[in-house]
Structure 1
Amino acid sequence: MSPEEFRRYGKQVVDWIADYLSTIESYPVGARTRPGEVRAALPAHPPEQGEPYEKVLEDVSRVIMPGITHWQHPSFFAFFPSNASGPAILGDLLSSGLGVQGLVWAASPASTELETVVVDWLAELLGLPARFRTDSTGGGVIQDSASSSALVALLAALHRTSGGEIRAGGITRRYTLYVSSQTHSALEKAARITGIGADNVRVVDVDPLTLAMDPGHLRSLVTEDIAAGAVPAMVCATVGTTSTTAIDPVAAIGPVCAEHGIWLHIDAAYAGVAAICPELRWINDGVAEYADSYATNPHKWLLTNFDCGVLWVADREAVTGALSIMPEFLRNQASDSGEVIDYRDWQVPLGRRFRALKLWSVIRWYGAEGLRQHLRTMVSLGDEFAALVSADPDFEVRPHHPFGLVCFRPLWTDEETMALLERLNDSGELYLSHTRVAGRVFLRMAIGAPSVTSDHIAKAWATIRRISRDMRPA
């Protein structure tokens, strides 16, 4: 494809995306295909000869689109939002066009240095402690997701806890990781990958009402494990759990970690960006005093398309000590001087995309004021929906919904509630997901699409009421 051909087809693709975003409400929210249907519509073998790009675009519309669940649809409420915005899409296009592999500073200095600026900007917006800045002992790095951030944090924790022994000799002792029943499954996966093992993931009790981690039970488990010869490696406290956005009490968990030298990781994948709003910065209580690492995902709620998760650490030496390997083909004067950051040492893979461009584009386009406005709008819409549900005696709302997620349920059996969920999603009018709290099924209304308005909230509730009344148990 020549530059002129790229120019011609590129304009068509940009127009296609703009048309899609401007007409997205005309689509049913969920995919309308059955398993195997998309595959069956595609050739079984690759083409022998190249095809005009018009044919590709035709098949996107004919084959691909019916199998798309429309995450940017204003009636998509199923999972945490995966925002895509104009500046983020354009930033991603610039990244793809440059084709940078930012594995070391020398491979593209601008890739590394823009990332250091952007993660420092975001740390400032969130009110994170100074030690997380790149001009201190720590710093930030853009990962693909909070799952990778948790894995890197756990590797750093093991490196620090073992005094570096694991780097050469592997795990020879029993190390333990502490989570709650509400912690994301990525932490257990990280325990499996690192060799800690799922059996050494210790599950801390939660408050039955708030679902927040119980610091007293954490202390008991840590004491018990140390007495049994185990080495506590890391505690993961969550700020905004996936299930209900429960918030673990970092300020009370932190002293337990500090007393025993345990790495404290904060998983704020969804809710962390809310701290850009001063009135929501209470979610950072205890972070400045106790956190060793902190992760949040701009690709969830901050208008930055997937993938873009940011991990900050207070001590970069723990991360690079765990992950740095210098093969001869990567040696260069800048890296050897120690004056630059090589982000390959801050992640599991060697190669890395120029993700900073899209986050930079978003922050510059919206500014702090625009980002706050978006977040406040989503919180306000969550409150609107909760008020609508609370006013209906046939439904109940889970208390504590400070962000854009509202958990609610009809006063039915779990089986009936799941049947309602299926009918709602089959309608094509909206898309929800569910969770289970204290043994009961709740529906999750996760609000966050950039185009959602009060009208969409009212329409969603009208659909829920209409279908629930049609299905009302005798």
Structure 2
Amino acid sequence: MENQNYHMSPEQFRTEGKKIIDWIADYYENIEKYPVLSQVKPGEIISSLPNHPPQKGESMEQMMQDIDEKIMPGITHWQSPNFFAYFPSNTSFPSILGDLVSSGLGVQGMIWATSPAATEVETRVLDWLAEMMGMPEKFKSTSSGGGVIQDTASTSALTAVIAARERATQYESNKTGVRQKLVAYISTQTHSSLEKAIKMAGIGKDNLRLIDVDETFAMLPEVLESQIQKDKKDGLQPFFICGALGTTSSNAMDPLREIGEIANKENCWFHIDAAMSGTAMVCPEFRHLMDGVELADSYCFNPHKWMFTNFDCDVFWVANRNELINTFSILPEYLKNKATESGAVFDYRDWHVQLGRRFRSLKLWFVIRHYGVEGLQFHIRKHVELTRTFTNWINESDDFELVVEPPLNLVCFRHKSGDDFNMKLMNAINETGKLFFTHTKLNDQIVLRMSIGQTNTEEEHVKAAWEMIVAKAKEFSL
């Protein structure tokens, strides 16, 4: 049989890799030429792709041609400076390069021994972040807790719920199954990932209490307290409470100190979900929003939302790492090694659901080292300032109204002409491809959302967006 080698050689990789770096740079230089929201119809992309895989390998030139002609029409451009939908999922060139190095090394960092650097860089970088954001000492690796990178805040929520379940049952649930009298508490505005976590952990949706919110859509502590006492009277066991540092729908800030005090008094695990807004804690002037954080058992935020770090990268801090390790630790024979047995290292596969793990901390390391604390603060403050500018335009308008005062970088507003008008307005603008924004429902009304946090968004983009919204609204009103 003829000796064949189908691999790409280092020299070929060098040549093609440089072309792809150029392609990415060109993409960012021309990103505003693309419609922000993909304009394709369902099935359009898949119908352009062959039904069967190629029998013989194809050239990179052919593949990149298909990227341009078949893939790019189906991309919604999250990195566009005119992307104002959902929440930021921003990235930056340092992050992309860090991720490239991670991919190139191809590390599987499940335990310390499989690549010590993958573990120790992660530990150091998350301690850096704890310092940068004014987090309590207990969340650092040098204390009782520490940080670990998860894929998303949803996985952090599941991790926290399972650890809370085990603490509440003295680790019996891991042995004999879930006791159905456990009850968890979130607000009506808390992200749906918490409900999913409660289902996946075997607690059950019927054992999840949704607590009412105030006029700013923040959880009402007195309602939480009342519900807990009712459940205890009914023979149930409260075990988990989640507070939001910025809800997805409206960026509402729960009163963390009051919730935390209730959680501590009732021996409930207190988890804080700061998915997007946590990044703002790099700026000292916003840290009043996390008053009470020292009462938390766990806390997560997403650098992949607003810290210029590409998806996926969620930081999960815990106050007592032993509670995680006791919940998730397994040690099959093939993973036994001297370093683990010494107890001198972290094996991060024992800190979360998945066993295998990428070298995600490299991209975060690149970002922090490139921008520095000052650079990150500069861009976060700029986004908040742009949000305030947009808010002022709404307040000066006769046709639009602000629904809730924005604490950071999300503006919730609406046209005064009603729900149908607002949906028609948003859809018509999004269909132009010039910008993309989304809606939510608050107080049973359709509310438009402008999330301002993309890496390259400047005042000119925000101004153009507002002018287009105003112009289209006038056009519909005629």
Tell me the TM-score normalised to structure 1 length: 0.98
Tell me by how many angstroms 1:236 deviates.
Answer: 0.2
Match of 2:187 in 1: 180
CA positional deviation for 1:349: 1.1
- Write the letter of the residue equivalent to 1:256: I
Residue 68 of structure 1, aligned match among 72, 75, 82: 75
Shift of 1:305: 0.6
Q: Structure 2 CA distance, aligned partners of 1:403 and 1:206?
A: 19
Counterpart of 1:307 in structure 2 is 312
Q: Is the 8 A contact 2:260 2:292 kept in 1?
A: yes
Name the structure 2 match of 1:371: 376
Aligned mates of 1:214, 1:32 — CA distance in 2: 42
Q: Deviations over 1:322-346 (max 9, x none)?
A: 1111111111111111110000011
Amino acid at match of 1:297: N
Identical columns (%) = 50
Cα separation, 2, equivalents of 1:349 and 1:462: 46
- Does structure 2 conserve the Cα–Cα contact (< 8 Å) formed by 1:139 and 1:313? yes
Per-residue CA distance 1:79-129 (angstroms, 9 max, x = gap): 111111000000000000000000000000000000000000001111000
Say how many residue pairs are matched: 471
**Correspondence 1:420-459 to 2 at 5 A:** 420-459=425-464
Give the letter for the 1:77 counterpart: F
The residue number in structure 2 matching 1:91 is: 98
| Secondary structure of the structure 1 residue equivalent to 2:346 | coil
The answer to whether the aligner puts 1:461 opposite 2:477 as a matched pair is no
Contact kept, 8 Å, 1:141 with 1:311, in 2: the verdict is: yes
Deviation per residue, 1:398-442 (Å, 9 max, x gap): 232121110110002212211111101001111011011101111
Following TM superposition, where does structure 1 have runs of at least 4 consecutive aligned residues deviating by more than 4 angstroms? Answer: none
Counterpart CA distance in 2 for 1:389 and 1:171 is 50
Aligned equivalent of 2:25: 18
Q: Which moved more, 1:412-421 or 1:324-333?
A: 412-421
**Structure 2: how far apart are the matches of 1:465 and 1:117?**
48
- SS of corresponding position for 1:265: strand
C-alpha displacement of 1:169: 0.8
Task: Map 1:171-250; keep pairs closer than 5 Å.
Answer: 171-207=178-214, 209-250=215-256
| Cα distance in 2 between the residues matched to 1:314 and 1:138 | 4
**Deviation of the 1:145 alpha carbon:** 0.7
The answer to whether the 8 A contact 2:404-2:413 is kept is no
Match of 2:45 among 38, 41, 53: 38
Does residue 164 of the first structure (1) align with residue 174 of the second (2)?
no
8 A Cα contact 1:173 1:231, kept in partner: no
**Greater mean alpha carbon deviation, residues 415-424 or residues 145-154:** 415-424
The residue aligned with 1:320 is 325
Write the distance in 2 (CA, Å) between the matches of 1:349 and 1:116.
18
**Structure 1 alignment gaps of length 5 or more:** none
Matched residue, 1:267: 273
1:383 maps to amino acid:
R
What SS class does the counterpart of residue 398 from structure 1 fall into? strand
CA distance in structure 1 between the partners assigned to 2:177 and 2:450 by the alignment = 44
The 2-side partners of 1:172 and 1:203 are apart by: 20
Q: Normalising by structure 2, report the TM-score.
A: 0.98
Partners of 1:343 and 1:458 in 2: how far apart? 45
Please list every run of 5 or more consecutive structure 2 residues that lacks an aligned counterpart in the other structure. Answer: 1-7
Is the contact made by 2:249 and 2:440 (CA closer than 8 Å) also made in structure 1? yes
CA contact (8 A) 2:306 2:453 kept: yes
d(CA) in 1 for partners of 2:211 and 2:450? 27
